[in-house]
Structure 1
Amino acid sequence: MSAIATPVNIIVGTLLAAVLLPAAANASEWGCEVLLCASSSNPSWRGVSACHPPMNRLISAMKKPGFDWPICPEAGTGAPGYQRYAECPEGYRVGSSNDRNGFAREGNLCVKTVNICQGNVHGLYNSDRQRSCIQTVSIPRPLRPEPYFFDIKNDTSGQTERHWFGVNR
């Protein structure tokens, strides 16, 4: 039986080489462990006991001033991306609100325009009344449970796959 070629399987050889070769093992070993664990999806890194030490080390390091993301140069991914918010529900678009100081908080709302008078059959409305029927409603934009991601290129297919992960224990 042959193994299925997934981005994680494909980079495992590169990552293992980086971890096992003495010259590459020093600076990038932890970064390669983090990449390998973060890209695990079934189960996530939380379900892989070997991933707990490097990921717990990462979580602790992130709390310290001057934190630099550990990278795995051999994999060519660099630091992960971050997207705090998930997509808005169908029918909504991304909107913004202002914080207490009047500064825009970009993309923190999902908004849509609705006609609150639609279906009302109590006579005709003048144009002013009709305009007042149109309102913008908003909901808080959902947060991603796993806001970090690595884009990993599959060397076999050439396709790039996004692997989402979180850093909460």
Structure 2
Amino acid sequence: MKKRVSGFLASIGAAGLSLAAVSPSQAADASWGCQVLLCAASESPSWHGVPYCVPPMQKLIAAMSLPGFSWPICKEGNAGKPGLEPYEPCPAGWTATSSDSSSGHGSSSAQNVCTRSLGRCNSKAARNTVRGAGTSIETKEVYAESGHNGSSCQIVQTQPRKLRAKPYFFDIPNSKGVKQRFWFDLNK
């Protein structure tokens, strides 16, 4: 059985995962960790649309709230525990940062806003960019320690980062060892 599960999981990465490629008996024989990996990596449809996947994923969601929860691992899949990236990337030219500068140094989960510096406050180009900014963008004049003159002032914009619809991911290696990222959610 392990050979079937291992062979199937290796083909997941190579073929881009298709639950249709697995017989119900093969999938049912897989460990809970392999069931979770298999279902989390299902893309069209997502695990929500695959009747086989609903019970193991709901079991996972329920187990996550219990004390001492440990993520079920599929050793044959070589994927380990999933990653979590709750936010979409910032738009080009913007940098992810924390809205609270006192917390989350280096933590991507705490980097909930995108910022960019437009340049000096007395810059015509910076002012023109500010006029075209969307309503969700906050614009501030930030002064250096040396005072409130035009050369020490920078225009900085901030906007909230968008939350991902699918914040969890597995990096699953294909038959050549190249990892492919599969995003999933844990919404009931």
When normalised by structure 2's length, the TM-score is 0.66
Displacement, 1:129?
2.8
Displacement, 1:108?
1.8
Name the CA distance, whole Å, in 1 between partners of 2:27 and 2:163.
34
Q: Which residue of 2 aligns with 1:78?
A: 80
Name the CA distance, whole Å, in 2 between partners of 1:34 and 1:83.
18
Paired letter, 2:163: L
Q: 2:150 aligns with which of 111, 115, 129?
A: 129
Q: Which residue of 1 aligns with 2:17?
A: 8
Q: Which residue of 1 aligns with 2:54?
A: 52
Displacement, 1:158?
3.5
Paired letter, 1:118: K
Cα distance per residue 1:96-153 (max 9 Å; x no partner): 222xxx7324422100012565257xxxxxx933543x31111112222211111111
Paired letter, 1:147: P
When normalised by structure 1's length, the TM-score is 0.73
1:69 aligned to 2:88?
Answer: no
1:110 aligned to 2:114?
Answer: yes
Displacement, 1:86?
1.7
Paired letter, 1:136: V
Identical columns (%): 42
Paired letter, 1:30: W
Whether contact under 8 Å (1:82, 1:147) holds in the other structure is: yes
Q: What is the number of residues matched between the two proteins?
A: 146
Whether contact under 8 Å (2:33, 2:72) holds in the other structure is: yes
Gaps of 5+ in 1: 121-126
Q: 1:150 aligns with which of 170, 175, 183?
A: 170
List 4+ stretches of structure 1 deviating above 4 A: 16-19
1:167 aligned to 2:186?
Answer: yes
Whether contact under 8 Å (1:8, 1:40) holds in the other structure is: yes
Instruction: Give the aligned CA root-mean-square deviation in angstroms.
Output: 2.9
Cα distance per residue 1:11-43 (max 9 Å; x no partner): x77xx76853xxxx6xxx111111100000111
Gaps of 5+ in 2: 1-10, 105-109, 128-147
Whether contact under 8 Å (2:27, 2:35) holds in the other structure is: no
Q: 2:97 aligns with which of 95, 99, 102?
A: 95
Q: 1:31 aligns with which of 30, 33, 40?
A: 33
